[in-house]
Amino acid sequence: MTNFQNQLALLANKVAEHDQTLLRFAALEERLAAVTAENKTLQQENADLRARLAEALAAAAQPTVSARPAAPTAPTASRPAPARQAPSAAEPAATAAPTVAPTEVWSTVAKRGKAKKPVTAKRREAIVRGFNLDTGEQGYEYVYIHRSRRYTRMEVRRNLRVLGIDAARILDVAFPARGIIGLLIHVQFKASFLESLERAKVQTVADFDPLDPAHLGDPRFVTASVADREVAAMRFHSRRCLHALNFVIDHHKDAAVAVAKVFAEQAWITEEDLARVIAATRPKLFERPKYSRNTVFGSGDFESDNDDTDSSMEY
């Protein structure tokens, strides 16, 4: 009797498992039907879009046709114009062939080039500065301002431009510490730059020291000694300066050597780093110009005297 009860219970469990399996199959069938219907809808939409695209491409490929009516000729006094007869049924009226307007070839449009932008006053001032001797104080300096949220360098420049500040005079944007933005500018631009910041109600950070170990945000240096923290702060700031030089070389190549000299004078970079910047920005002596295909004279053909007409000696 006990064996029969066990077999009955086993059969009841299997029936329950089959019921659960049937329920899952029913749910899968419903899901499959829904996916099939959705697939058909997407296929129909795809076909409609392909048809519309084909119509748009065909319309764009057709040439522009403009019908130009023929100019009527006025009858002369000696020879009156013949009367125009109506066309007969056997002879259909001749329709004037439409005149196809000549379409411009893309090569003709491309030869025109882009319209030249007018030279702005700031651009004109920059050109004039390039043809004059440097006067006044020389050098570059970081101006530090606050920040209350995270910014990218592009956002900093764009927001300063919105405030009426000439962002093109900012050579580099750095983030030396939490809540601080460093802006590298020329010292002669500093006065007008500070006036623009004050007019925009942007406060500057006075006496900010980028080498202060207190600006280290890495928790690894919390328990480090003062000497180790100072070395780490110097190392991080040197990396920021090298990053700034990379940007200046790419976008302000004429000022790269001067900026590197300022960094070297403050011991932010090494003399080897300064030499690498000079080598990257100064052309080699007697270097073949990239725009010249043929070089008639070699380096051995130039005399050693100081001749102002020798353009290869200007470097």
DSSP secondary structure, 86-141, as one string: PPPSSSPPPPPPPPBPPPPPHHHHHHH-PPPPPPPHHHHHHHHHHTS---S---EE
- Cα–Cα–Cα angle for 28, 34, 37, rounded to 5 degrees: 140
pLDDT band of residue 154 (cuts 50, 70, 90) is very high
Question: Which DSSP string corresponds to 257-305?
Answer: HHHHHHHHHTTSS-HHHHHHHHHHHSPPTTPPPTT-S---S-GGGS-SS
Share above pLDDT 70 across residues of the chain, in percent, rounded to a whole number:
72
Q: What is the pLDDT of residues 229-287, one digit of tens each?
A: 999 999 999 999 999 999 999 888 889 999 999 999 999 999 999 999 998 887 654 45
* Paired sense of beta strands 180-186 and 172-177, if any: antiparallel
Q: Which residues pair with 295 in a beta bridge?
A: none
174 - beta bridge partners?
Answer: 182
pLDDT of residue 99: 52
pLDDT at 312: 38
Per-residue confidence (pLDDT) for residue 290, from 0 to 100:
55
> Which helix (H) or strand (E) covers residue 181, if one does?
strand 180-186
What is residue 307's predicted lDDT score, i.e. its pLDDT?
45
CATH among 1.10.8, 3.30.70, 3.40.1340, 2.60.40 for 135-208: 3.30.70
What residue segments make up the domains of the chain, in order of their start?
A: 1-42, 135-208, 209-289
What's the pLDDT band for 133 if we cut at 50, 70, 90?
Answer: confident
Helix (H) or strand (E) holding 66: none
In sequence order, what are the beta bridge partners of 243? none
Residues 61-96 pLDDT 10s: 775 544 455 555 554 445 555 555 555 544 544 455
- Rg of the Cα trace of the chain? 40
Average pLDDT, the chain: 78
Interatomic CA distance for residues 204 and 183, integer angstroms: 11
